[in-house]
Each structure stands twice: as structure tokens, then as C-alpha cells.
Structure 1
Amino acid sequence: MTSFALIGAAGYIAPRHMKAIKAVGGDLKVAFDPNDSVGIIDSHFPQAHFFTEFERFDRHVDKLHRRGEHIDFVSICSPNYLHDAHIRFGLRAGSDVICEKPLVLNPWNIDGLIEIERDSGRKVNTILQLRLHPAIIALRDRVAASNQRHSVDLTYITSRGRWYHASWKGDDSKSGGVATNIGVHFFDMLAFVFGPLQSQTANLREGERAGGLLSYEKADVRWFLSVDANDLPDGVKGQKTTFRSITVDGEEVEFSDGFTDLHTRSYEEILAGKGYGLEDVRFSIEVVSQFRQLPVVTGGEKHPFAAKYIKG
């Protein structure tokens, strides 16, 4: 039975990892989170050890290793700015790593992890679940079969309450900002479908929302991301808290369903030796890191949702 440790057990995404570990026949041996609101563990692995202090968690993992109960994978669901340190812990503990998006906040962090990966002989895997979504795979196949250059609009609005800005997610130095926190896997998906990025422009960069332009090998993309419920389309407000939309040449690509099992699919691929590693994620990390530094351009082409917040 494949054994796991989990860092960040109280987070929003942790239950999907617990479910995935259970689904692939794994065993969660130990979990850590400074917050003790982790009763969800009982639904999956009630016998798992749990610690609220990293030092005690570290000691327990080391004790397991020394008595021959090796941890095969360390799964990481901690705040974005801690991913780099927690990946390093997992590799140095002699385990392979599965880390939530964004893997790290800056591309130079990847270079350091490559060295530790090489020294440890272990592997870092990341969750790029949209690459496994059937609708996205079908779109990629369709684009690959055509020589046409496409016009794309990407819109993703996921409502967050006031707590969001009081948490680490509202601190750009810890989350990377809206584009990084909720958008990095969309940028990976766009490159997966439309090829290498050629250029990008920042049109909007605020605490609640962001928007810009991306030029790929086979597409020009206008994008808008938001955590403000006020940005939801009128037909969605009061009915749903999330709105996802991708249009290609004016045609909607339906991919709203099928998200809940993609973490399990990701774990299946990783255990089969087909996970996405450090170099696979470099491109999307470069995009969001660069976006944070770009000057904001208010004139010219822009996403329709972003236009009302932009003067110029």
C-alpha cells in the first residue's frame, strides 16, 4: 500500500487530496496543519496521526523512516508561499512529492528544486488537472488538426467573502495575487492547447481581479479573473457563486463539469509514473511571475469584463 503524508490538512483543497489518496488505495499515515479544524480526516483516514506543530510532524516522519515505514509521497496543500519549503522537506525526507498549484511563486524557485530533486533521487509532481479534462483534451486535438489562428476569451469568477482578504490569500506576497492564486492552471491549460506563449500584456491588476492579453502560437487570448461576486454575469448572480467560460472564435467550450474527480485522475497518473514534473510547470509560473511585474496598459484591446474597471 502506497503511504502518504499530508501538509496543509485544514485547507480548502485538502479534502480532494484525501479523497484521491483513498481512491488510489493509498494510506495517509500522518498529516500536519497549524489549524486543528481537520475533522474531515475521519471521513477518509481516522487512524492518521495529526500534528499542529511542524517540528513534531517532522520528527514523526523521521521516526517512521528510521523504523522502516517509509513515506512514499508527501502531498502539499499549504499556502502558496510555503510550497517551496515544504517540497524541499519532502524531498529531503526521501519521499516523492505531490504539490498543489501554484507549485512555486517564481521560476527561479524551480531551479533550486531541480537541484534538490537530483541530489535526493526523488521526484516532484504537480497538479495540472485541466490537462486531464476531457473537454480540454478534445479542444487541444481540434486545435492541433487546424492551421487556423484562434480568438479566445477566458473568464473565471469564483466568489470569495471578506475572509479572503484577511487570510494569506489576500496578501500578494504570500499568494502571488489573483492571477497566480486562481489562474495559474488556466494559463498552463492555454499553453497546453494553443502552444508556446509569444507575448503578454497586463490590463488590470487589483486585489479582487486581474485581466490581460496573451498571444500564443495558435491563439490570441483575452482573459479576466475575479474573486468578487459583483463580477458574476447577471444571469448567474444569486444562482451560482462560480462562473467559468472559454470561448474559441465565439463558440463556448463547455468544461464546467468534471472538475471534482480530476485530482483522483492526477493521482492515478502520478502513481503510474506519468505525473507532471518541475519543467512541465515552468511555463505557467513564468507567466504569472511576469504578470506581477508588467506595467498596466489601459489602452487598446481588453477583455469586456475588465473594460469597466479600466480608464483609457
Structure 2
Amino acid sequence: MIPFGIIGVGGYVAPKHLKAIKDTNNILVCALDIRDSVGILDSFFPQANFFTEFERFDRHIDKLARKKEGVKYISICSPNYLHDSHIRFALKSNAHAICEKPLVLNPWNIDGLRDLERESGKKVYNILQLRLHPGILSLKQKVQQELQNNPNKIYDITLTYLVSRGQWYFVSWKGDVTKSGGIATNIGVHFFDMLSFIFGAPKNNIVHISKPDCASGYLQLKHAHIRWFLSINHNYIPQDVQAMGKKTYRSIIVDNEEIEFSEGFENLHTLSYQDILAHKGFGLEDTKECIQIVHDIRNTSPIGAVGDYHPFCQKVSQ
């Protein structure tokens, strides 16, 4: 059983990591969160040592290492802006880092982590679970086959992702663009990673709307033109979807064909951990393009609803 540590165990995504550690027959020996509402540990690893102060967690990690009982992996589920620091802590603690997305907020942070990887001999892994989704893998295979026959083909894509969030969102770190990276980073980075994974590297990035509760733009990849719209505002969810009591709307249309991948998310973190433990996980180079995309979106001035924009832009008051 491989010993794990986790940072941010009280966070939204942490239970998926706890389940993945347990599903791969490994053990969590210590956990950190500044909040103490972490009863979720009872369902997975009740014997894990828990800390609310980083300094005591750091000391515990060091004591384990000195007893030759050090953790081999540290899973990072902390707020986005702390990922870079916590990854560095893991590597300096002689552990591999498994980090939620976005791996970092800025592309140049990846260069620094690459240097630290070389110095420490440890690896940084990013959870990019959509790359393991059966529907996405099927789409990638289909696209690759079509590009063999037509290498210059450009796909027309419309991406819409709406997920309702209450007023708490804007009070939390998620509502602070300096900490979360904004809407496109916080809820969109995995979609941009998935699209570049299938359709190639970014070539042009235009932002039409950038607001605290929504963002929209036009992204050109090597083999795709993408109109995208992301929001946490419940009012933008289509009325027929709201009528069914749903609070999330996800749609990806490729060349007028809706891509269905509403199911199949249950065990993607476990599959990610299995790959990582088999030394096949997604590393620094895999995450570079999506980090560059969301960084550019965050630092591009919006031009408004002009040109080739997503139709949902018309829902947003300018």
C-alpha cells in the first residue's frame, strides 16, 4: 500500500481523490485543510492524521521521511492559486505531486516546475480526466481517422457549459480572479484541454465577453473553430432545461452533431490514479496548451458581441 498525503481535503473535489486512493488499494496517512469540516475522512481513511496548519503538516511529512516512512505521493486539491506552491512543497518533500486542474495559473510557472522536477527526480501529474472519458476518446479516434483522409479539415464547434452557483461563489476564492483565474479557468480549463487534445494547438484566441459570472469567446485550434460560452448564472440555462429542474447544461456540437458525454464520469479520477501509478499519467507538457489558452483569455480585452460569437452572448446585457 503506497502512502499518500493530501492538501485541501475539505474541498469540493477531494472526495474523488480519496476514493481514487482507496480504489487503487493505497492508504492516506495525512491530510491538510485550513477548515476542519472534514468528516468525509471517516468514509475513507479515519486513521489519517489531520492538520489545519501547514507548518504542522510540513513537520509531520518531514518526520515520516526521517523514519523512512515518507509519503510517496501528495494529492493537491487546494485553491487554484496555491497549486504551484503546493506542488513545489510535494517535490521538495521527495514526493510525486498529483494536482487538480488548473495545474497552475500562468504558463511560466510550468517552466519553474520543470526545473524542480529535474532537481528532485519526482514527477508532477495533472488530473485531466476528460482525456479518459469513453465518449471523448471515441471522438478523438473519429477525428484522427477523418484527418488522415483530409489533413486540412477544420471542424466547426460550439461549446456551452452552464453550471448554477449561488452568491457564495463570489465571496469565496473562486470569485476572485487573482485566485481562481476567473470563469474560463475555474470551470472551463478541462474543456479547453479536451478540445486541444483532440483538435490541436491554439492559433487564435478572441474574447467577446468577460464578466464575473460568464465569459465567451472564439478559439481557433489547428483543426477547429470554436465558439464557447461559460457561465455560473442560472438565468442563462435554457428554459426547457430549467423546467426539468436541472441546474447544469453541457453541450458540445461538432459540425452540427451533438456530442453525448453526459454519463461516464463516475470513475475517471480512479482511472487517472491507475495511470499515474503505472507511470503513464499526464504531466507538465500535457497541460501547457490549456494553461496558455486560459491565461490568454484572462488577459485579453473583450470586444463585445461582434464577429463569430456564441449565440448565448445575446443573453448577456452589455
1-structure distance, mates of 2:63, 2:241:
52
Aligned: 1:296 with 2:302: yes
- Match of residue 248 from structure 2: 242
State the Cα deviation string for residues 4-51 of structure 1 (Å, max 9, x = none).
Answer: 000001000000000000000110000000000000000000000000
Q: Is the contact made by 1:124 and 1:278 (CA closer than 8 Å) also made in structure 2?
A: yes
User: How far did 1:308 drift?
Assistant: 2.7
Q: Is the contact made by 2:91 and 2:116 (CA closer than 8 Å) also made in structure 1?
A: yes
Q: Is the contact made by 2:236 and 2:315 (CA closer than 8 Å) also made in structure 1?
A: no
Q: Please list, as runs of the form range in 1=range in 2, the aligned pairs for 1:19-168 lying within 5 A after superposition.
A: 19-146=19-146, 147=150, 148-168=153-173
2-structure distance, mates of 1:218, 1:310:
32
Q: TM-score, normalised by structure 1?
A: 0.98
- Match of residue 276 from structure 2: 270
- Match of residue 266 from structure 2: 260
User: How far did 1:235 drift?
Assistant: 1.4
Q: Is the contact made by 1:5 and 1:74 (CA closer than 8 Å) also made in structure 2?
A: yes
2-structure distance, mates of 1:278, 1:48:
29
1-structure distance, mates of 2:237, 2:30:
40
The runs of at least 4 consecutive aligned structure 1 residues that moved more than 4 Å come to none
What is the RMSD of the two structures over their aligned residues, measured on CA atoms?
Answer: 0.9
Q: Given the superposition, is the C-alpha separation of residues 249 and 310 from structure 1 closer, same or farther in structure 2, using an over 3 Å criterion?
A: farther
Aligned: 1:307 with 2:310: no
Q: Is the contact made by 1:21 and 1:267 (CA closer than 8 Å) also made in structure 2?
A: yes
SS at match of 1:45: coil
**Which one of the candidate residues 206, 210, 234 is aligned to 1:229?**
234
State the Cα deviation string for residues 152-183 of structure 1 (Å, max 9, x = none).
Answer: 01111111111100000000000000000011
1-structure distance, mates of 2:182, 2:301:
15
For 1:3, the aligned partner's letter is P
Aligned: 1:208 with 2:213: yes
Q: TM-score, normalised by structure 2?
A: 0.96
**Which one of the candidate residues 198, 202, 221 is aligned to 1:197?**
202
State the Cα deviation string for residues 69-100 of structure 1 (Å, max 9, x = none).
Answer: 02010000000000000000000000001000
1-structure distance, mates of 2:317, 2:311:
10
SS at match of 2:235: helix
Give the stretch that moved more between structures: 300-309 or 197-206: 300-309
User: How far did 1:57 drift?
Assistant: 0.5
Give the stretch that moved more between structures: 116-125 or 290-299: 290-299
- Match of residue 281 from structure 1: 287
1-structure distance, mates of 2:315, 2:238:
13
1-structure distance, mates of 2:183, 2:276:
28
Q: Is the contact made by 2:99 and 2:126 (CA closer than 8 Å) also made in structure 1?
A: yes
For 1:175, the aligned partner's letter is S
2-structure distance, mates of 1:45, 1:267:
17
- Match of residue 12 from structure 1: 12
For 2:181, the aligned partner's letter is G
Q: Is the contact made by 1:106 and 1:286 (CA closer than 8 Å) also made in structure 2?
A: yes
For 1:164, the aligned partner's letter is Y
* Residue ranges of structure 2 left out of the alignment (5+ in a row): none
User: How far did 1:307 drift?
Assistant: 2.7
* Residue ranges of structure 1 left out of the alignment (5+ in a row): none
For 1:208, the aligned partner's letter is D
SS at match of 1:115: helix
1-structure distance, mates of 2:36, 2:96:
25
User: How far did 1:134 drift?
Assistant: 0.6
1-structure distance, mates of 2:218, 2:69:
50
State the Cα deviation string for residues 107-159 of structure 1 (Å, max 9, x = none).
Answer: 01111111111100000000000100010111111111112321101111111
State the Cα deviation string for residues 231-251 of structure 1 (Å, max 9, x = none).
Answer: 111111151111111011111
The count of aligned residue pairs is 311
SS at match of 2:6: strand
Give the stretch that moved more between structures: 302-311 or 206-215: 302-311
User: How far did 1:310 drift?
Assistant: 6.0
1-structure distance, mates of 2:198, 2:217:
18
SS at match of 2:239: coil
- Match of residue 182 from structure 1: 187
- Match of residue 177 from structure 2: 172
Q: Is the contact made by 1:7 and 1:32 (CA closer than 8 Å) also made in structure 2?
A: yes
